[in-house]
Amino acid sequence: MGVEVRRARPDEASELKRLRLEMLRDSPSSFEERLERVEAWDEGRWTSRLTSMSAPDSALFIAAEDDAWVAQAAGRVYGTYVPPRAYLLSVYVTPSHRGRRLVEKVVERVEDWARGLGFSELYLDVHEGAAAARTAYARMGYVDTGVTTPYANNEAESEIELAKQLD
């Protein structure tokens, strides 16, 4: 069976946990959460997190092979901006599946989701040292907005804001 790209289902908290822990082990500077904290989460926290990604302002798209998640990308609307912004978050492809265009496939699903909510731009923040991610985002049409912010886990490092026009 091939890889299926779809929205995450509410009963898949165990896959969310498995892939999130892998993400934090493989690419710790790409995500603000710390592995040692996330490892301590109970099952209820994982279920709650997955449920929150089904809210009207959020979405989690995954690529699954034989029911095992091998890639993901999330979208979230942040109303703290005026006007509100749609953001691309938590993009990851497991190492064994890199180079198969899965990153494009899950990101495209988030872009479609944001368009469906009426957004004409999608934003993301990427760690300054994540060269492969920055290259992938550029290939998909994301450009540097000129905005940088201190990285939450080390203020000596920065995150770079990128955006893509969706229309």
Helix pair angle (102-116, 131-139), 10° resolution: 60
At 144 the pLDDT is 98
- Is 150 in contact with 158 (CB distance < 8 Å)? yes
HEC profile for 18-55?
HHHHHHHHHCHHHCCCCHHHHCCCCHHHHHHHHHHCCC
At 163 the pLDDT is 98
pLDDT along the chain (167 residues), means of 10: 91 95 91 89 93 93 96 95 92 95 97 97 95 96 97 89 96
CA 42 vs CA 36, 39, 48, 69: distances in Å:
13, 8, 10, 20
pTM to 2 decimals?
0.93
Residue 148 CA to its chain's centroid (Å): 18
What pairs with residue 86 in β-bridges?
A: 77, 122
CA 146 vs CA 78, 125, 127, 143: distances in Å:
19, 11, 14, 9
- The CATH number for 3-165, chosen from 3.40.630.30, 3.10.350.10, 1.10.1040.10, 3.40.190.10, is 3.40.630.30
At 116 the pLDDT is 96
At 1 the pLDDT is 63
> What's the token pair of residue 54?
């089904």
At 126 the pLDDT is 96
Please give the Cα distance from 167 to 159 (Å, whole number).
Answer: 25
